[in-house]
Structure 1
Amino acid sequence: MQAVERVLHHALRRLPISFVSNLGARLAWLKIRFIDPDVARKARANIRHHFPAMPEAEADKLAWRFVENVGRLMAEFSIVHRFAAAERMELVGADVARADIGKIPTIALCLHLGNWEVLASALQIMGVPIASISEIPDNAAHRDIAEATRSSFNVNVLPPDRNGALRALSILKGNGVLAIFPDEKRKGTMMAPLFGRQPHLKGNLALVAKLARRTGAQIVVAYCERVGETRFRLHFERPFHMDPGIENPLADVASLNSRIEPIILRHLEQWYYLDDSIGPIE
């Protein structure tokens, strides 16, 4: 199967952008409809959890739009490097966000929305070199494809361990840019957003707060919104610093969560983890 995935990835690189994305959407629809219907069921249940008053038909529509988005982004790994030249990207807030980049440490708080790999392309266009702490896929083919995609955008991928954290700290102390995804799943548990759960110190929100306080880094929330089948709006929120009046790590986590949770709820059908359960933090 991994050999097939590698061949398919390279074959798709030469095909029209819309064809590749639409193929991914169609294949995802077929897979979830006939092979793994629990994905749509779980996504629908989570939508109803977040929006209990939403009509069933609307929740079902959003669930299938989620399936479509996942299918598209998986296929788009083969063509994401072509979006910029094809003028399929719109940058919002980029000028303000990059005003002090290179002058002070910067943490890009990125979200798994739309096709988040497009963010790396946008940052490359902006002339912003980045490092990113990222999980390493277990699937060797997925790992190779992801690494090739990110290296083409000059992303320095750091391992999610102590060594990676030390390298991240060094980058920030050198006024570099570090990208961290706070909406993450660890060992089957969704760490963030909190979605009503108590703040905790076990996820990337706590890591961001710790690094920002230690280095004085500015924080920029960044996310990708799919506004058409293969068109994207890249949002860069206004930079901010951790509140100097707060010296409570849990309060820091709650504050950062308040920055990302509303964005994800506004674009829930484009959130990669919509079908994952939100359980207690162990």
Structure 2
Amino acid sequence: MQALERVLHRLLRRLPISFVSDLGARLAWLKIRFIDPAVARKARANIRRHFPDMPDAEVEKLVWRFVANVGRLMAEFSVVDRFAAADRMEFVGVEAPQANVGKMPTIALCLHLGNWEVLASAMQMIGVPIASISEVPENAAHRDIAEATRGNFDVNVLTPDRNGALRALSILKANGVVAVFPDEKRGNTMMAPLFGRPPHITGNLALVAKLARRTGAQLVVVYCERLEDVRFRLHFEGPFHMPPGSDGPLSDVAFLNGQIEPIILRHLDQWYYLDDAIGPIA
């Protein structure tokens, strides 16, 4: 299976961008409709949890937009390094955070929206080198494909452990840029957003708060919005800092959650984790 995935990746790299993305959407529709309908069922339940009054027809539209987006982003792994040359991206709000890059430490809070792999290409386009704390895929083929893709964008990948956190701290102290994905899943547990659950200190939100407090970093929420098919808008929200003083790490986590949760709720159809269970933090 892994050998087949590598062959398909190489084949897709040679095909037109729109064809690859459309193929991913169609294959995802077929898979969820006929092979794994539980994905649609779980996504539907989560939408109802967040928006209990949404009409059934709107819920269904959102579910299948979500399925299409996941299919597209999986296929687009093979062609994402061609997006910049093909003029597939536009930027909103990049000037404010970019003005301070190199003058102060910066933490980019990147969200799993749209096709988040586009963010690395976007940073390269605006001339901002980044280090990213990222999970390493267990599947060897997926790992090789991800590393090759990110290598094209000069991303310094940091491991999600103590060593990675120490390297991130060193980069920030040198006024560098570190990207962290705060909306994360560990095992079977969604760590963030909290969605009404109590804050906790075991996820990336707590790590970001600690790094920001230690370095005085500016924080910028960054996310990718899919406009249509294979066109994207890269949003850079206004820079902010942790509030002066602190009531403790739980308060800091709640503050940061408030920066990302509303954005995800506005773009549920493009959120990768829409079909995952939102239960208590272990």
Deviation, structure 1 residue 247? 3.7
Deviation, structure 1 residue 6? 0.5
Are 2:159 and 1:165 equivalent residues in the alignment?
Answer: no
Deviations 1:117-173 (A, max 9, x none): 001100000100000111111111111111111110000001111111111111111
Q: Could you say which residue in structure 2 is the equivalent of 1:47?
A: 47
Q: Could you say which residue in structure 1 is the equivalent of 2:154?
A: 154
Are 2:107 and 1:117 equivalent residues in the alignment?
Answer: no
Stretches of structure 2 lacking an aligned partner (at least 5 in a row): none
Are 2:18 and 1:18 equivalent residues in the alignment?
Answer: yes
Question: Which AA in structure 2 matches 1:232?
Answer: F
Question: Which AA in structure 2 matches 1:204?
Answer: N
Q: Could you say which residue in structure 1 is the equivalent of 2:205?
A: 205
Aligned positions of 1:216-255 closer than 5 A: 216-255=216-255
Question: Which AA in structure 2 matches 1:39?
Answer: V
Q: Secondary structure at the match of 1:226?
A: strand
Q: Could you say which residue in structure 2 is the equivalent of 1:191?
A: 191
Deviation, structure 1 residue 176? 0.5
Stretches of structure 1 lacking an aligned partner (at least 5 in a row): none
**Normalising by structure 2, what TM-score?**
0.99
Deviation, structure 1 residue 231? 0.2
Deviation, structure 1 residue 80? 0.5
Deviations 1:10-63 (A, max 9, x none): 111111111000000001111111110000100011001100000112111111
Q: Could you say which residue in structure 1 is the equivalent of 2:81?
A: 81
- Structure 1 distance, partners of 2:258, 2:161, is 26
- Structure 2 distance, partners of 1:30, 1:64, is 11
Deviation, structure 1 residue 246? 2.4
- Structure 1 distance, partners of 2:279, 2:136, is 23
- Structure 1 distance, partners of 2:112, 2:13, is 23
Deviations 1:163-190 (A, max 9, x none): 1111111111111100000000012000
Moved over 2 A (4+): none
**Normalising by structure 1, what TM-score?**
0.99
Question: Which AA in structure 1 matches 2:112?
Answer: H
